[in-house]
A and B are shown apart, each in its own frame.
Chain A
């Protein structure tokens, strides 16, 4: 069995697994009064259709023996991968820190850190980053917290 389109194969498996999880979870849905088809009709319909389509995708990904893998993604070069992963981790850390540290400090730190990560690492650039970060943070803070009375974390 020659799997031509690896990504499609994986995707369909993931989808099927997801449907499995949801099927499991749907047992927890309490029907109550079964009114107008009940809360389970639509989800089951959708799950059925998704499962069907995933199966078709699965079969197709296996069947196309001779076609070259076109839909798959080219693994980006290592440098880009590193940047992507780093940015994602940094952003996750930022979001984690937000409720704890408050909006202004966290955003400022994040902006400087991210810009340093992605851009030039010279002292002059650092200063520019700092200024931009400051303006951004204060600007947003002002508009939202003071003008619109929105509560930021």
Chain B
């Protein structure tokens, strides 16, 4: 009974535009479909913390994990599209997962708000590896097919990065070792189980600093200001790039004024010097892009995955 009463009140509130000026009236639930402390989670917490200056009610992070991030996505899908439930995701997961698992929904079933942060992906080898740059790795693979052990997460971002490299260099025949999770891939390099891998730069940096891993290149489209003296793959002559961008979504048909308030608040937060500093300390780039640009990015990324997946027979 209480819930029904609340629903009626809510309907009344939503129906009267004047009241929407004071949106949000209660804390906003931000669903991060990954474990606390993971890279998506950290960026969400930092932004969620700093956005307090621009919104009357706080952001509350919920980690709803499982099913390659689809569990969290489903939660937002089922929730009321009133702007109180947001999804914090990036195309490498959401766009790909729906394709691979044949889910009955995709990222288009949400309303995109904006892009918030981007981070870098690094290509690494162990410290005692004979390879000094990316070119050397690929030359070795070409000369010795099936010998170099490349650890990646099947159907994951690291896999698609590898496929993008294949596409640019012609068929690459490395021994693929399935290892999911940035930390696990780092461990596999450290323990000598594999020879080369791609992980997010944030996860790799402590080990690069300590000298346990060697950073060969960044898999970005342009140099990162967090590691300005690291070349990108493109510079080394390999036309493969992946830009790791995180975006915010709400349920479909959320009222426009609610969306506008959210986008505005997020934009202001990302321009705030404190936020920028906090994000940079965790190896994130504040990267605000509006709704149209976000949708374009996702479409491009999805098309790229689809091409790679079909070409390399990950999808039929």
Contacts and interface: CB of A to CB of B under 8 A. Distances in A.
Direct contact of A and B (CB under 8 A): yes
Interface of A: 30, 32-33, 35-36, 100-102, 105, 149, 151
B140 interface: no
B316 interface: yes
A149 B60 contact: yes
Given A32-B100, A101-B2, 8 more contacts: A30-B316, A32-B313, A32-B314, A35-B154, A100-B3, A102-B2, A102-B3, A151-B60
Q: Chain A at the B interface: mostly helix, strand, loop or mixed?
A: loop
Contacts of B237: none
Contact of B102 (A30, A33, A101): A30
Contacts of B62: 151
Q: Which 9 A-B pairs have the closest CB atoms?
A: A149-B60, A33-B313, A33-B314, A32-B314, A36-B178, A102-B3, A35-B154, A102-B2, A151-B29
A99 to B, nearest CB: 10
A96 to B, nearest CB: 15
Contacts of A149: 27, 60
A98 to B, nearest CB: 11
A35 B312 contact: no
Interface of B: 2-3, 27, 29, 60, 62, 100, 102, 154, 176, 178, 312-316
A133 B176 CA distance: 56
A138 B173 CA distance: 61
A11 B46 CA distance: 53
Contacts of B60: 149, 151
A29 to B, nearest CB: 11
Given A101-B3, A149-B60, A151-B29, A35 B313 contact: no
26 contacts: A30-B102, A30-B316, A32-B100, A32-B313, A32-B314, A32-B315, A32-B316, A33-B312, A33-B313, A33-B314, A35-B154, A35-B176, A35-B178, A36-B176, A36-B178, A100-B3, A101-B2, A101-B3, A102-B2, A102-B3, A105-B2, A149-B27, A149-B60, A151-B29, A151-B60, A151-B62
A107 B27 CA distance: 24
B311 to A, nearest CB: 12
A105 B3 CA distance: 11
Contacts of B312: 33
A142 B176 CA distance: 49
